[in-house]
Each structure stands twice: as structure tokens, then as C-alpha cells.
């Protein structure tokens, strides 16, 4: 009789422990999924704009050369002041390559700013939190060095293209219409010069440093949200071998 009672108690204890362990595992899985979803919510917009800017920079750098070279699609003005004198047809025609590059980087500045502001909502370890801050700074420094886009103006540029009341980025059309105002455009002049420098084949080392910083940050974000390699996926979609994306 005693043996039977012991056996029954043991079976009951094993069943209770199994249910407890199973519940703990389920809670861990749910917490992991929730953590990835939260990180994706705050980090995916930055991932997207990193990929877009990375591809654009590679494309311009690949065709970099003097005004009589192959990069005339970007070298459409000598001075950013000229941009405010253009009409709508120029922004969707000859000026599109240059202006859209500036637009994409302005959107990237918005996302860099937002992620810094969203740090309290991210579910990262202390080490990952520190690494993310360093990688964000690396991208900002990539735009800054050698008389690029000054560090303190980058968040201002990002704020300028953010429609706060509607919680969205400006459309390309809205951006172009705002650039026709010289007072508004002047805040983007250094970013225009940044792309004109690249297109002329100048300050190549700065561009390569920025591209590498974007790759490092993008790879880290891919890990945080549990996704695939964003940059490699984009390169494959464009028919470019992955090794060329980081060469």
C-alpha cells in the first residue's frame, strides 16, 4: 500500500514539474517573440533606410568621376543654391538622382534620431545597447568626416523631413516643394555637397568608411530583429554578387 502511495505521489510530482517546466519554456518563447517584435517595431525603419542609402552610395561611388564622366546624372548643379531655382519637372527629371539621394539620407537621419530617442523601449542586453550606440555614432561620423555633414545638423535635417503631426516622413514630392524655398533648403546644402563630392570622385575614403559603417550597423540590426542579411538580400535583388557589396 505504501509503495503504491509513493509511486502515485512521485507520478503526481513529476507531472507537476513537467507542467511547470513546460510553462516556463512557453513564457520564455513568448518573451523572446515579444522582444523581437518590439525591436523590429523600432529598428526596422532604420534597417530599411540603411539598405536604401547603402545601395545608393555604392551606385554613385561606382560611377564616380569628373563632370564629363558617367556620373552626370548626379552632377547636375555646381552649387546647391541652384536647386531652389528649379521647377517641378527638374526634380522628377534631370535633378532626380541628386535630390533623391539627399532625400534618402535625410530620411536616414530621421531614423537615426528616432532610434536614439527610442532606446528606453528597446529590449537589448547592456552589451548590445552599448554596441548599438557605438554603431549609430559610426554612421553619423561617416557623414561628418572631411568637412561632410556636421554632427549637430544631422538630427536637425532628420527633424525637418518628419511630419510630426502625422507621424510620418515627408514624401519625395513634399521634399522637393520645400527645397524651392531657399531659407529651408540651406539646411541641406552640406548634404548636397556631400553627394556632389562623391559623384566627382572626391573624398573616396570618407565614402568607403561610411559604407562600411552602414554595413556594420545593418548587420547588428539584422541580428536584433532576427531577420536575414538585409544588405545582401538587396544586392541579390539587384543582381549584384554579395561580395561586391562589401568590397
Q: State the pLDDT at residue 176.
A: 98
What are the pLDDT digits (tens) for 129-165? 899 999 999 999 999 998 899 999 999 999 999 999 9
Query: In 3-state terms, what secondary structure has residue 169?
Result: strand
Q: For residue 234, what are the contacts with CB-CB under 8 A and spacing of at least 6?
A: 51, 54, 55
Quick count: other Cβ atoms within 10 Å of Cβ 59? 16
**Contact in structure between 159 and 188 (CB atoms under 8 Å):** no
Q: State the pLDDT at residue 204.
A: 92
Q: State the pLDDT at residue 121.
A: 81
Q: State the pLDDT at residue 26.
A: 56
**Contact in structure between 211 and 58 (CB atoms under 8 Å):** yes
Residue 168 DSSP class: E
User: Rounded distance, CA 106 to CA 160, Å?
Assistant: 8
Where the chain has pLDDT below 50, the residues are 27-28, 30-35, 243, 245-247
Q: State the pLDDT at residue 8.
A: 66
Task: Quickly list H helices, the chain.
Answer: 2-62, 88-91, 96-117, 126-144, 153-160, 172-179, 182-185, 189-199, 204-225, 230-237, 242-245
Amino acid at each position: 500500500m505504501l509503495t503504491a502511495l509513493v509511486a502515485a505521489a512521485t507520478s503526481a510530482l513529476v507531472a507537476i514539474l513537467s507542467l511547470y517546466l513546460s510553462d516556463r519554456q512557453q513564457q520564455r518563447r513568448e518573451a523572446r517573440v515579444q522582444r523581437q517584435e518590439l525591436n523590429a517595431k523600432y529598428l526596422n525603419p532604420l534597417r530599411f533606410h540603411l539598405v536604401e542609402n547603402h545601395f545608393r552610395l555604392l551606385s554613385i561611388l561606382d560611377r564616380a568621376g569628373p563632370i564629363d564622366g558617367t556620373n552626370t546624372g548626379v552632377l547636375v548643379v555646381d552649387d546647391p543654391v541652384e536647386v531652389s531655382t528649379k521647377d517641378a519637372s527638374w526634380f522628377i527629371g534631370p535633378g532626380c538622382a541628386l535630390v533623391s539621394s539627399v532625400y534618402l539620407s535625410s530620411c536616414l537621419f530621421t531614423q537615426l534620431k528616432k532610434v536614439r530617442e527610442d532606446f528606453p523601449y528597446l529590449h537589448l542586453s547592456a552589451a548590445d545597447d552599448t554596441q548599438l550606440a557605438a554603431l549609430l555614432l559610426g554612421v553619423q561620423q561617416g557623414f561628418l568626416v572631411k568637412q561632410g555633414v556636421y554632427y549637430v545638423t544631422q538630427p536637425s535635417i532628420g527633424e525637418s523631413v518628419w511630419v510630426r503631426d502625422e507621424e510620418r516622413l515627408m514624401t519625395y514630392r513634399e521634399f522637393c516643394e520645400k527645397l524651392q524655398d531657399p531659407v529651408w533648403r540651406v539646411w541641406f546644402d552640406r548634404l548636397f555637397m556631400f553627394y556632389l563630392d562623391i559623384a566627382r570622385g572626391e573624398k573616396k575614403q570618407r565614402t568607403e568608411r561610411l559604407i562600411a559603417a552602414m554595413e556594420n550597423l545593418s548587420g547588428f540590426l539584422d541580428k536584433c530583429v532576427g531577420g536575414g542579411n538585409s544588405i545582401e538580400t538587396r544586392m541579390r535583388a539587384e543582381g549584384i554578387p554579395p561580395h561586391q557589396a562589401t568590397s
